[in-house]
Structure 1
Amino acid sequence: MKRLDFLDGLRGFFVLTMTLSHLVLQNGVWLQRLHFREVMFVESTQGFVFVSGLMFGLMQTRRMLRSGPRAMHRAVASRMVELWLWTVGLIFLGLLARDLMPGGVLAWRNWLGTAPIDDPMRIFAIVSLTFQPTFLDILPMYILFMAVAPVMIHWVVSGRWMLAAGASALMWTACQIDLASLWSGWLDGVLEAPDTQGLRLAFDPMGWQVPFMAGLILGALWAMDRLRWDRIFGPGTRDLALVALLFLALFVPVRIASAHGAMPRDMFAAFRPLEYRSNFGLVYLLNFAAAGFLFTWIAIAGQSDPLRAVRALSRAITWVFTRPLLCLLGRHALHVYIWHVVLVYAVRYIDNAWGPGGQGVNTALALGSIALLWLVPIIRERPKR
């Protein structure tokens, strides 16, 4: 198994399943019921952010060790500017489409707001990335994480990875006690536009930095040869993998019950504060850690497990996530993510303008959107051929 191919395939899988889960159709589509988020508190976004952090830490640390800190800082700054231009450009493109296309305001008012495109406060909020339309919220988080990443990498390279991990944990803890409320309300009022929207964020970056920074630290250690995956996920961790499996199994009925309103009232009252998705609450953190450990253990240690079924599952995982089509998506994951936003908005407009459609039409829209994801990586790799 080529490790980078596996990671590219994994990231491609996450952006593919994320596209499927982001399709908003009036009658829904049965394909979304196949998503693993239906039975666990783990979603494509978490995996996408983690693997992106892992790849970022691996590549930028290698660049720093090979060419020096200045080369790493230049590369990070260039990437941040690129993502900022794409984000701001996409938002203004969406606002233009909203105002010019028949029925655009009706289709996208909940995603883009209704403030005029030339409203000064809205323009400032867009440029400063404090107004983040639906599905355009991950890119601003990436820019923020990248701004902090060089410091974290410097700590890891100097042997202070525990400080980096501790700082990330401290930030997550501050998020859980809603420390940002000390200034977010004031900022929301300052940025308020005619549609009464000001500060608009789907994810609190103070909480969601955990999967990215965890991946970044592991990637940096890996680049320095201080991390041996076969030792971490060796035969001696088999019982821990079993615990992770039991942990996930415990939450399957909880996930189903909470999603369908079947949880007892007293239990839901205790459970709800731990399950906030926007701040990457404790339920999501623990389930993601358990799922990540179990998946990695099966992929690495499972190859030599005594049980034939586990060995077969390990080979299947390796085969699936090294498929060329998935790897192609993963190699251009951020640009595919940008393209997926266009596709999701287009599907939303079609469904509002000519829908609602039946399951046949919606299935065709979903499969067509997924197929079109490969358009961007094919174009980007065409000159290389």
Structure 2
Amino acid sequence: MRLFHPHAEPPSPGGSLVAGRLAILDGLRGYFLVFMFLNHLTFTGGYLLVLLNHAELAFVEGAQGFVFLSGLLAGLVHGRRMARHGLGTATVAIWNRAAEIYAYALGCVLIILVLQTLLPGSWVYWHHWLGDLHFGRGRHVAASALLLYQPDYLDVLPQYVVYLLATPPLIWLCLQGRWAWVAGGSIVLWLAVQLGAHLALADAVARLLPLRAYFNAFAWQLVFVAGLVLGTAMIQDRIDWSRLFRADRPQLALVAAMTVLFFAIWRVWSNHFAMPEAVEARLRALANRGEFGPVYLLNFVALAYLVTWVVRLGPATASIPLRWLAYLLDRLFKLSFLRLLGRHSLQVYAWHVIAVYLLKAVDENWGPFGEIGKTAIAVAGIMLLAVPAWMLERTKAVPRAGKLQPAFASRPIDPRP
């Protein structure tokens, strides 16, 4: 796929999407999962390992990349399915996936609520994450089942359910050449949130059932739909990547680099130094993470373009630092561990939420820990993220004929977030 590698051709509409050609996408999803775990992990007094994070230098975090890649793969895989087998077949597959994600989200909530009844004091140290959600509050449990009252760190999964329910008609429109309507509608919806058009709806819902959600799905859909439109265009071979990414014309990459550097300065300033009150207020208004404000949008677009340019064209440039950076990024995103996580991202994400809640209980009951202890726990947690992925790989390693296959054999990629 030429978007991510300088020598590979984009998949033709009749070609097969195999893990070897899209391995870097699995690796990217695994990379984002690791850093979401580190960002969500909490210790008394904080911990230093979390500072080794691209989010410290940009208004871009794992969640944005994760949502974008899910949309991209939905367009690539389900778009191909729809083109071959029709709208009905693709819709059944997509909505079955939405039902599976809903089941995982609901299962995680139930597990956490059961743990809440078993662990003494958990109501106190989980209250900030759960709000008023517990078995004694039926309205809150019902609202959670309806995806309206969302515990912290589980609020990404309800987004996917909503997005996948809307995915079939969006892909169909893109396949019919009406991608501009899809992109334009997505942009208008994002702009409506930025201007507060959703507030009346939120107030109306809150009068009926408790409402708690950090991510605004009407705003974050822009990231998912952008990936979906791009993925659908790729299977139709409608994008000339050689015009967007050219080593002999690096002007766009230079603009992206300057934008990334600009936002890095503001990120470091806001994280580690005092800002004038008026400046801080303006930044808060434009960098609303829950509503994917303009600062997050611009920084994400610039960084995504720059990283893609470096990985795709860096090896062909005369710059030794760029060649090394491209090599390191390519090797990083193709690590077998990250690809393993990415192939089973739903199960890994659900497992990481339970792990974060349990480790919070460990810190509250047996902490505080020293910096070495915190680092050891964090690293062990990263390694344990692979447990559900490894179990699924071992299960799938036994084919129908009963002959064992390697646990990490290449397999067709799917659009699972």
Q: Find the counterpart in structure 2 of residue 97 from structure 1.
A: 115
Q: Find the counterpart in structure 1 of residue 14 from structure 2.
A: none
1:227 and 1:128, CA in 2 relative to 1: closer, same or farther beyond 3 A? same
1:306 aligned residue (314, 318, 321): 318
1:359 aligned residue (351, 366, 371): 371
Rounded Cα–Cα distance in structure 1 between residues aligned with 2:301 and 2:21:
20
Cα deviation digits, residues 274-330 of structure 1 (max 9, x gap): 111110000000000000000001111222123222122212221221121111111
What CA RMSD, in Å, does the superposition of the two structures yield over aligned residues? 1.5
- Answering whether residue 202 of structure 2 is matched by residue 184 of structure 1, we say yes
- Give 1:91 shift: 0.6
1:263 aligned residue (267, 272, 275): 275
Which deviates further from its counterpart, 250-259 or 222-231? 222-231
**Equivalent pairs: percent with the same residue?**
38
| Number of aligned residue pairs | 379
Q: 1:79-228 to 2 correspondence within 5 Å?
A: 79-191=97-209, 198-228=210-240
Contact 1:41 1:287 survives alignment (8 Å): yes
2:347 aligned residue (331, 335, 352): 335
> Tell me, what secondary structure is at the counterpart of 1:102?
coil
- Give 1:60 shift: 0.4
- Answering whether residue 258 of structure 2 is matched by residue 246 of structure 1, we say yes
- Give 1:40 shift: 1.1
- Answering whether residue 30 of structure 2 is matched by residue 12 of structure 1, we say yes
Q: Which has more helix, going by share of residues?
A: 1
**TM-score normalized by the length of structure 2:** 0.88
Cα deviation digits, residues 109-144 of structure 1 (max 9, x gap): 111234541433112201110010000000000011
Q: Find the counterpart in structure 2 of residue 194 from structure 1.
A: none
1:115 and 1:78, CA in 2 relative to 1: closer, same or farther beyond 3 A? closer
Q: Find the counterpart in structure 1 of residue 57 from structure 2.
A: 39
Q: Find the counterpart in structure 1 of residue 409 from structure 2.
A: none
Contact 1:254 1:263 survives alignment (8 Å): no
- Give 1:211 shift: 1.1
1:235 aligned residue (244, 247, 254): 247
Which deviates further from its counterpart, 198-207 or 116-125? 116-125
Contact 2:82 2:172 survives alignment (8 Å): no
- Answering whether residue 34 of structure 2 is matched by residue 22 of structure 1, we say no
Which deviates further from its counterpart, 285-294 or 24-33? 24-33
1:106 partner amino acid: V
- Give 1:186 shift: 2.9
Contact 1:27 1:357 survives alignment (8 Å): no
> Tell me, what secondary structure is at the counterpart of 1:179?
coil
Unaligned runs of 5+ in 1: 192-197
- Give 1:331 shift: 0.8
> Tell me, what secondary structure is at the counterpart of 1:200?
coil
Rounded Cα–Cα distance in structure 2 between residues aligned with 1:342 and 1:300:
37
Contact 1:187 1:199 survives alignment (8 Å): yes
